[in-house]
Structure 1
């Protein structure tokens, strides 16, 4: 009979063996899942190159559709299409290639995408040519399409017939009607141009010269302009609002403009003394000369010496200016 200690050791060994078996089963199960996942991932995309025909004549063209189909169940897929140049090989040339187009997945299978690009091939030598596989790069793995064969044929020549010279061109009689059929639009254009020239000449001959009406712009007398400016200055009430310097500057400027236009002296650029001296020979009364001198002198003192006139002096400057203009204005009234 087994002793008690031996029985205990035997049971422990059995449990340990069962634990090892369970662990091995788990590892095998995980490996199976990994292998299945790799197979699914490996089969989650495919590439193909499909020509619309394998037979063509010299110089004809064949369209090849490059397509990659993939699934995005397990995440995004990075696809790089083959690099295409001018030729496939020394006998097959690439005529054109389209942009890469991504097709929207079907609503019944939203994880299935495919992209495609069309290229056009041609050949100018007869024979059988292998178009090698096109290489795609998908998630950093290189995947190739199947190669395909192109059969390029020449025109069949009937060797039973002899070789003949090129026939000479046949001359056909050319009539006036034929010429008119080919050049009628020139005749119409010349006729239309002749009619247009005739109408233009008649129009120019019969056109009456347009008499321009003389626009008479009334000349406003200088004294009217000056008096209107002084009236506007009075309405602005500058000195009443503390703008004494601006008030007297406007009076001086209005008087100088009037004197310059009335007596043809450069009053806007001259000093008060020069203006008074320039008016000495004019028919101006001594009283009005004194008013003018007083008004211009006060304006100079306010402008350059910061004189602060009394309210009465402010009013007198405007009154004196109006009086001077009224007394020296040119009488524009016509006496019958």
Structure 2
């Protein structure tokens, strides 16, 4: 990661350049969005891969334009990027954090300080206000009448029977069974299939583990799962699963039908390992 400065004024733009060198035949998955609080991402441009000079493989790069409206010694947190070998094995790379000092914009000390003027008086014309006062009185009287009338009407309250929600793990397992019975893979709809299996697990994580995964990037989901205290092994299993789906969705990786169906077993294992955690009491 390269940053073009170590000190800015509040609101200034900073260019952050990321690059990944990897062997030919591998794939890189850039995050679809980034949360680098306390900095805000104003622009995010990913450049196409290019050959490294001297036959050293391939390089992928991205440029972020960021700013901050907070003051002090702030830190750009580590940014994670996933790479996969031709066999589909996923590795996650992470940048080092980078500190930037953010200062306030200086004031012009040469300017004169003007005295505060007192409030201006407004000439009153009671005859002009009279129609408005009558209108306010009429509206108030109408409101009192409507309130009294509403009190005289009986209000029938009918309680609807509450239907208990279905356990999240059962909903997820049924959705996985339905996906397994689809013909998407046979029709070559590999990306659609992986988008759906990722959506099923993200929906399950959102309901069962109370992590809003449908609105998060994979890196944000993993951070949320770490906060859910699932344990390192389970969290990394979720990470590898979601990163594998991202490679198909964003990096044009196209695994075969058998390899794709193996993800169903992984997805079912993730659900079964965590079905007793979080908000599902069943």
TM-score by length of 1: 0.34
- TM-score, with normalisation over the residues of structure 2? 0.40
